[in-house]
Amino acid sequence: MSTTVNEIKKPILEEMKLFEQKFYESMHTKVPLLDKVTRFIVTTKGKQMRPMFVFLCAKLVGEVNEKTFRGASMIELIHTATLVHDDVVDESFKRRNFFSINALWKNKIAVLVGDFLLSKSVLLSTDNKDYDLLHVIARTIREMSEGELLQLEKARTLDITEDVYYEIIRQKTATLIAACCEIGVLSNNADEDLAKKMQIFGTKTGMAFQIKDDLFDYLSANAIGKPVGIDIQEQKMTLPLIYSLKNANAKDRKYHFETVKKYKDNKKRVKELIDFVKFTGGLDYALSVMNNYYEEAKLILTDFPDSEAKTSLHLMLDYVIERKF
């Protein structure tokens, strides 16, 4: 039976309810337009997995406290800001089945809202002298920006090796989950070694999360509701494709590489490429790498005593690799 988000939330149900209120308060502003947009953000929120990581990691080593709530709000402010900016960059007009902020209020307002959210995250830490959390947040914003720029740079030539792919997803996706886990234990005054251990746990979890996301592109649209071949059409070189092209003969490599480069909108060519990746073991290879990260993350949890929070973190790991969307 698949793990559900409600199962994972059990030890932190009260904290998650209180968090919604505190998160909204963290975005408070006297500017009517901004207030309207931030209310929209709260009503269209996602599963809030990142704050869940913060609370569960805090409970792994102590209790949830005001600093934990601030840390979770900082993370969610950054995450929301990056989504708002991403929608502008990608010219995307839908987010979680709602219109995106740039669709409703245009690009200029969306960019400024993203900037506002980032500034609120920084102020939340400095106003409360949470300088250890500020260090994590600043590093995370830098790495996420570097990851996006590295991907954009490589998209021009499609020259992405497996090592470059891992670096891109570590910075773009895994670094934020790593920050959640590190901030969770730092809110309980964790020492440097424990903070580093949880950062590594979050990184491995985030790597598994992104590889699972990349696998969706090769699965049936009926199963997950996401059209197949989207990453190919956007010329994103993900692990299944990188592996299959690397191990193909020169003729196949040239043909399928040209599909990504020149024929990404040709449905027949894209389907051929998806079939090629499946047939040559690209999906199996990506699955094995994802499972390795999953097992390495699980191993880190063995260092902690049994608790409800530890059980939920195990369930969270299961959810990361089992989810259907």
pTM of structure? 0.88
Beta strands in 55-99 (DSSP E): 94-95, 98-99
Looking at residue 285, what is its pLDDT? 96
Give the tokens for residue 4.
């559900």
- Average pLDDT in the 110-128 region? 86
Mean pLDDT of 48-59: 94
Q: Classify residue 219 as exposed, middle or buried by CB count within 10 Å of its CB (0-12, 13-18, 19+).
A: middle
Residue with tokens 């191990």: 247
pLDDT at 227: 46
Inform me whether the pLDDT recorded for 177 exceeds 90.
yes
- What amino acid occupies position 101? I
Residue 85 has pLDDT above 90, yes or no: no
pLDDT band at 185 (very low <50, low <70, confident <90, very high): very high
302 or 41, which is more confident: 302
pLDDT-above-70 percentage for the chain: 86
Please tell me the distance from the alpha carbon of residue 209 to that of residue 161, in angstroms, as a whole number: 20
* Fold that domain 5-322 belongs to in CATH: Farnesyl Diphosphate Synthase (1.10.600)
208 compared with 104, residue with greater pLDDT: 208
Q: Which of 281, 284, 278, 233 is nearest to 259 (CA)?
A: 233
Share in percent of the chain as helix, strand, coil (round to 5): 80, 0, 20
Task: Please write the tens of the pLDDT for every residue from 265-320.
Answer: 888 888 888 889 999 999 999 999 999 999 999 999 999 999 999 999 999 999 99
> What are the sequence ranges of the domains in the chain?
5-322
Binned at pLDDT 50, 70 and 90, residue 1 comes out as very low
Q: Distance (Å, rounded) from C-alpha 304 to C-alpha 167?
A: 28
Distance of CA 174 to the CA centre of its chain: 6
Amino acid identity for residue 324 in this structure = K
CA distance 244 to 259: 14
pLDDT for 270: 86
* pLDDT of the residue at 44: 67
d(CA 206, CA 25): 28
β-partners of residue 95 are 98
